Structure 1
Amino acid sequence: MLYADLSLAQKLERTEARGNAAFVETRARLLPESGACWREVAGAYAMFDGPDSPLTQTFGLGVFEEVTAGHLQELEAFFQERGAPVLHEVSPLAAPSLLPLLTARGYQPIEYTTLLFQSISAAEMAAVPEAAALRTRIAGPEEAELWARTAAAGWSTEGPDLAEFIFDFGQISARSALSFLAEHEGRPVATGALIMHDGVALLAGASTVPEARGQGAQAALLDARLRHAAARGCGIACMGALPGSQSQRNAEKQGFRVAYTRTKWQLMR
């Protein structure tokens, strides 16, 4: 039985941090002029992937070590020297002493993310039948642009600016995580990503092109990623979602449970 305690929080936070560190390292390797980099402070990973990137923040603050004012000063300098906002995404299982420190220094909460989890076992997973015309596979390194284009197409209904961002972001993601494709009659229609660290599998990158929604592509991708992770020794799967969203409901339908809801804090001074 898995419990939503500090031990689980440390596993989930470190897995996400390691996956994001791999993303930042890939960005730095492919685009050194971006200045992408990361640093560990008090057990938390501070990421810089550009001032506007959703990865430019800390992960795991207060979960591994008690945070001091000196630690926050060091983290603030890391972001401010790079012209980025100072953002910390904090688990409610972080040390209680962190919250008064954040409020005293002028931080305000701006966003929530719910983390969900479930136990996985290769021996216990029931087969999910795929539609005859649907198949899933891992995209090769040479298919990074194809994966990113498919992911961007899934967000095209939200506007061209977001689709362009997803395409750029996806090309890095496809080179830093295991990238899965779902194909319908040989045509890519959906994407998913998988990050594995220390027995934990993080699921991300879900996107389905509008005309292929409701045909089981994401269910097939979820099953493929869980099986892949379980076969490689992962015993926990996790994902993030907006609280109360359709993504959260879908995850709960698939057996995921809420671990906790994180709060993103931004320095306002």
Structure 2
Amino acid sequence: MLFADYTLSQRLERTEGRSNAAFVEIRAQLQPASGATWCEVAGTAAMFDGPDSPLTQTFGLGMFGEVTPSDLAALESFFQERGAPVLHEVSPLADASLLPLLTQRGYQPLEYTSVLYQPLSAAAAPPVSRNPQLRTRLLAPDEAPLWARTAAAGWSTEMEGLEEFIRELSVVSAQSAGARPFLAELAGEPIAAGGLFVYDDVALLAGASTVPQARRQGGQQALLEARLHYAASQGCTLAMMAALPGSQSQRNAEKHGFRIAYTRTKWQLASK
């Protein structure tokens, strides 16, 4: 039995922080003009990927020891010097002194995220194919553009401009250290994409989407099972993912054995 305690939260927060840091590192390599960079303060990973990027925030605040006012000031300067909002995604298991400090400095809660987990076993049986025309595969490094196009197509009906944003984000993500991009193909045509990031013995699942015309064909379920089996075969003992509380993504994860470890709160420093 793996309990949702402080130790588990440390593992999960460290993995997601490392995932975002790997993205920022490859962004800086591929696009030096972006100014992408990251730093660590008191065990907290602070990422800058542009003022409007969803990756521009911190992970692990208060999870690796007490955070002092000077620590927060250093993190705030990191973002403010780059013209970015100051955002911290905080586990409820963080050091108890953190919340009063955040409110004293003018932070306000912005949103919530469910963090889910599932223990993995290398002895688990491989996934069973339910559709002979559907197959999943791990992509080669030079297939990053294909994965990005497929991932972005899944968002094409959501909001104007979102497809191109996701495509640009995904082509970088697929090339980051530790990334394992998976694709589902139906009769040889790509229909769904799913990301996997491996750090130590933890596998982070993210970036799942299906092209609109191929939904309800089993693509996402096949990708989920394939990524979990692959992660276990690589020595991972734990899988994690994040979802909007009460969302369909959370329900799908719980249907496939994931449990909610805790709900994080994103805090934003109010503008002066």
Counterpart code for 1:16: E
Normalising by structure 1, we get a TM-score of 0.98
Contact 2:147 2:171 in 1 (8 A): yes
- Deviation, 1:124, is 2.8
Counterpart code for 1:93: L
Deviation track 1:164-219 (CA, whole Å, cap 9, x = no partner) reads 11011011011111110000111110001111112111000100001111111111
Deviation track 1:120-139 (CA, whole Å, cap 9, x = no partner) reads 11213463324111111111
Counterpart code for 1:102: L
Name the SS for the 1:129 alignment partner: coil
Name the SS for the 1:131 alignment partner: coil
* 1:131 aligned residue: 131
Deviation track 1:229-249 (CA, whole Å, cap 9, x = no partner) reads 101111110100000000000
- Deviation, 1:159, is 2.1
Aligned: 1:249 with 2:251: yes
1:258 to 260, 268, 271: 260
Name the SS for the 1:178 alignment partner: coil
* 1:102 aligned residue: 102
* 1:27 aligned residue: 27
Aligned: 1:64 with 2:64: yes
2: distance between equivalents of 1:103 and 1:220?
44
* 1:240 aligned residue: 242
2: distance between equivalents of 1:195 and 1:57?
19
* 1:159 aligned residue: 159
* 1:214 aligned residue: 216
Counterpart code for 1:226: L
Deviation track 1:33-73 (CA, whole Å, cap 9, x = no partner) reads 00000000010100000001111000000011110000000
Question: What stretches of structure 1 of length at least 5 have no aligned partner?
Answer: none
2: distance between equivalents of 1:35 and 1:158?
29
Name the SS for the 1:196 alignment partner: strand
2: distance between equivalents of 1:160 and 1:103?
36
Q: CA RMSD in A?
A: 0.9
Question: What stretches of structure 2 of length at least 5 have no aligned partner?
Answer: none
Counterpart code for 1:246: Q
Normalising by structure 2, we get a TM-score of 0.97
2: distance between equivalents of 1:144 and 1:130?
27
2: distance between equivalents of 1:168 and 1:268?
29
